[in-house]
């Protein structure tokens, strides 16, 4: 059973992990503890091709400095050779006597690190702070398990479920605090996806901003649909060149994004695109920004999502509810949909 000092070190490792880029590779942090519980070194993974968290932490110690130590890692140490060598072998060579980790690696080639360490005589314990680690790595895990990007649907709605007034106007349903939260979350995504209908109707810039200033990290703007995107569209002035996918095949579009290393997709494409992704079982998370206002009329936040009878309803697991000014944000995870699961 993990000791208190190891649990505290795991929480520190999770803080370190969050410093790494959220993309194709998992965010991982590591802390090396001495036999008496002192922190000897810390490390985290800084992106593809850079040392993994365990190796980064070990690099801060002199030769032999980790002998008899405990390595606390947010993800099961990898057991394969990719751009870098296996972390299991680095830990064994360093003489680490115990490894505590949070989450099992779901990869077929990367997994198995715990077994390799145990076979080498290292004391291994997994599942420490597993819920916190899973929350951090949820998009990466979904991408690995489902073979497609993690897809987050975002919409703003009135209390009675409308995304726009009868004439189509929708700016602004929610207030400035909710809009600021949206921009922060855009900056955490690899790509922001809309349909051509949204481009033609709203001419969105698809940038992540703090007021009028661009945030340092910007998602790649992606447009899906068969209608042409105007040459003077605002998104063509985005810091990243827009990716235009002239198709209505959502699964192939997501495959194209995955091939480009875009693993976290933030969808702001209006009820048509959002509902199509829900209907196909290609969405993982919903962010519903709910304003205390009533609009009425026909323009609902979602359209047909394939629910013909109440027994077909799509149940979600609420992971967060928070107040943003006068508005409410509900964050919910979608369970795998048998028809759309890949």
Q: How far are the Cα atoms of 16, 32, 114, 128, 314 from residue 101, in angstroms, in the given order?
A: 14, 12, 9, 6, 34
Cα radius of gyration (the chain): 22
3-state secondary structure of 164: coil
Q: How long is the chain? A: 342
How far is residue 280 CA from its own chain's centroid? 20
Give the DSSP H or E segment for 205: none
Q: What is the DSSP string of 258-310?
A: HHTT--EEEE--HHHHHHHHHHTT---EEEEEEES----SS-BS----S--SG
54 has catalytic annotation: yes
| Set 6, 15, 42, 54: catalytic member | 54
Q: Which of 333, 247, 239 has the alpha carbon at shortest distance from 285?
A: 333
Cis before 172? omega within 30 = yes
Q: Which residues are catalytic?
A: 54
């Amino acid at each position: 059973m993990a000791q208190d000092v190891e649990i505290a070190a795991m929480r520190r490792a999770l803080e370190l992990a969050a410093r790494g880029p959220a993309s194709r590779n998992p965010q991982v942090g590591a802390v090396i503890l001495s036999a008496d519980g002192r922190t000897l070194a810390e490390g985290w993974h800084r992106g593809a091709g850079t040392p993994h968290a365990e190796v980064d932490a070990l690099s801060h110690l002199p030769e032999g400095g980790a002998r008899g130590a405990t390595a606390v890692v947010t993800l099961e140490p990898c057991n394969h050779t990719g751009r870098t060598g296996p972390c299991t072998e680095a830990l064994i060579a360093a003489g680490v006597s115990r490894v505590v980790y949070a989450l099992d690696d779901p990869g077929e080639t990367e997994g198995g690190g715990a077994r390799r360490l145990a076979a080498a005589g290292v004391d291994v314990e997994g599942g420490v702070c597993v819920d916190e680690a899973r929350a951090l790595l949820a998009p990466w895990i979904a991408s690995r398990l489902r073979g497609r990007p993690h897809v987050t649907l975002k919409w703003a709605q009135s209390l009675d479920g409308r995304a726009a007034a009868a004439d189509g106007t929708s700016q602004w349903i929610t207030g400035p605090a909710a809009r600021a939260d949206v921009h922060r979350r855009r900056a955490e995504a690899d790509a922001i996806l809309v349909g051509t209908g949204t481009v033609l109707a709203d001419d969105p810039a698809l940038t992540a901003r703090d007021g009028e200033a661009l945030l340092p990290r910007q998602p790649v703007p992606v447009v899906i649909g068969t209608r042409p995107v105007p040459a003077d569209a605002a998104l063509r002035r985005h810091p990243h060149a827009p990716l235009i996918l002239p198709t209505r095949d959502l699964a192939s579009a997501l495959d194209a994004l995955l091939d480009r290393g875009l693993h976290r997709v933030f969808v702001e494409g209006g009820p048509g695109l959002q509902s199509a992704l829900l209907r196909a079982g290609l969405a993982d998370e919903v962010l519903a920004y709910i304003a205390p206002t009533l609009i009425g009329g026909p323009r609902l936040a979602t359209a047909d999502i394939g629910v013909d009878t109440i027994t077909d309803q799509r149940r979600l697991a609420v992971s967060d509810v928070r107040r943003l000014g006068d508005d409410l944000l509900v964050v919910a995870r979608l369970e795998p949909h048998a028809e759309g699961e890949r």
